[in-house]
Amino acid sequence: MERKILYKVDALYRDDFRVTGFQFGQGEKSICIIGSMRGNEYQQIYACSQLVRKLKVLEEKGRITKGKSILVIPCANPYSVNTKKRFWTIDNTDINRMFPGYDLGETTQRIAGGIFEQIKDYRFGVQFASFYMPGNFVPQVRMMKTGLENVELARQFGLPYVVLHHPRPFDTTTLNYNWQIWETDAFSIYTTSTGEIERGSAAQAVDAVLHFLSKQEIIRYRGHEGYQSRVVETRDFVNIRTERAGFFESRVKAGERVLAGTVLAAVTDPYTGEIRQIITAPIDGTVAFVHNETLAYQNTAVFKLIAEEDVL
């Protein structure tokens, strides 16, 4: 294992900004795995740390294929992690909306550009990602539907779902999208949580990456075979929104199968405790996403369901 500084910004008043990577093996740039880009993505850092730990053991046992190299970047935004801010601490910009970056631009554009220069030539790219809305996901591997996506490769992770996402204009500045445009087979892996460590789904994500590496003959590894992944598209998710604002109390978890009419959550008045809304499932399906904050505003998408008939 080689620990290296991939990008650095000199600081005037505090420690320098550094993006640290861990390289395993030598030779062809086979795969890059990147974790946190936002300051609250603790689960994503943790998943990378567990991957580093396992790859170190595999390398010591000689199980990384000769002529292949693996790069793991646990955190691309340590400043925001240290200050407990989701986005860049100075101007609240999002590094994952700055790719492919610009070396003469704003700070986050320069960081994105510096990172992308180091990782754009890898054959495969994996990002442990989080959603723009607070909540928990059913474990899944997601790809931008650019015309360059490869569903069969995504199935090799063995996660319950492969999700195809039709990119919107602001998605064109994400890492996943730009990796694909630069001819890297790119995947985003979503575990259950973001701001707290959830060991079960983190272990599932690490096993999925190792399973994929084994399928691609980058490592020699025998682990859990995983699922026969179901392929769905994000536009087929059934969004369920709140009609009233208040305290949000979910009755189900991500990954649960529900029947039409199942009570999913209650919204209560914060002052009186009266129930303002009982949210029920409109269809039979699987809970793909559930809001996980105490307060929910009116018209917030608090659940996303995968309808049984929409599974490809």
Each residue's pLDDT tens digit, 235-269 = 999 999 999 999 999 999 999 999 999 999 999 99
Q: Are residues 43 and 127 in the same domain?
A: yes
* pLDDT confidence band for 312 (50 / 70 / 90): very low
Q: Where are the beta strands (DSSP E) in 37-109?
A: 68-75
Q: Are residues 171 and 301 in the same domain?
A: no
Whether residue 191 is predicted with pLDDT greater than 90 in this model: the reply is yes
Query: What mean pLDDT comes out for the span 155-169?
Result: 94
Report whether the peptide linkage leading into residue 139 is cis, meaning its omega lies within 30 degrees of zero: no
- All residues at 6 or more sequence positions from 132 whose CB lies less than 8 Å from its CB, including other chains: none
- Print the domain residue range for 88: 2-233
Beta-ladder partners of 279: 265
Whether residue 306 is predicted with pLDDT greater than 60 in this model: the reply is yes
Q: Are residues 63 and 6 in the same domain?
A: yes
Contact in structure between 50 and 202 (CB atoms under 8 Å): yes
Q: What is the CATH number of the domain that holds 270?
A: 2.40.50.100
Q: Are residues 254 and 281 in the same domain?
A: yes
The domain boundary residue, chosen from 210, 233, 256: 233
Q: What is the CATH number of the domain that holds 110?
A: 3.40.630.10
Q: Are residues 212 and 243 in the same domain?
A: no
Q: Are residues 220 and 292 in the same domain?
A: no
The domain boundary residue, chosen from 215, 233, 251: 233
The domain boundary residue, chosen from 233, 248, 268: 233
Contact in structure between 125 and 179 (CB atoms under 8 Å): yes
Q: Are residues 225 and 103 in the same domain?
A: yes
> Helix, strand or coil for residue 14?
coil
Q: Are residues 206 and 96 in the same domain?
A: yes
Q: Quote the tokens at residue 7.
A: 């990008």
pLDDT at 226: 81
Higher pLDDT, 309 or 173: 173
Would you give the distance in Å from CA 17 to the centre of its chain?
Answer: 23
Query: What mean pLDDT comes out for the span 264-284?
Result: 97
Q: Are residues 110 and 214 in the same domain?
A: yes
Q: Are residues 226 and 251 in the same domain?
A: no
* pLDDT confidence band for 12 (50 / 70 / 90): low
pLDDT at 309: 63
Number of domains in the chain: 2
Q: Are residues 132 and 176 in the same domain?
A: yes
Q: What percent of the chain has pLDDT over 70?
A: 98
Number of C-beta neighbours around residue 54 at 10 A = 18
- All residues at 6 or more sequence positions from 222 whose CB lies less than 8 Å from its CB, including other chains: 214
> Measured between alpha carbons, how far is 105 from 56 in angstroms, rounded to an integer?
37
> Measured between alpha carbons, how far is 232 from 230 in angstroms, rounded to an integer?
7
Q: Are residues 188 and 283 in the same domain?
A: no
Beta strands at 28-36 and 124-128: parallel, antiparallel or unpaired: parallel
Beta strands at 124-128 and 185-190: parallel, antiparallel or unpaired: parallel
Question: The tokens 């990008």 sit on which residue?
Answer: 7
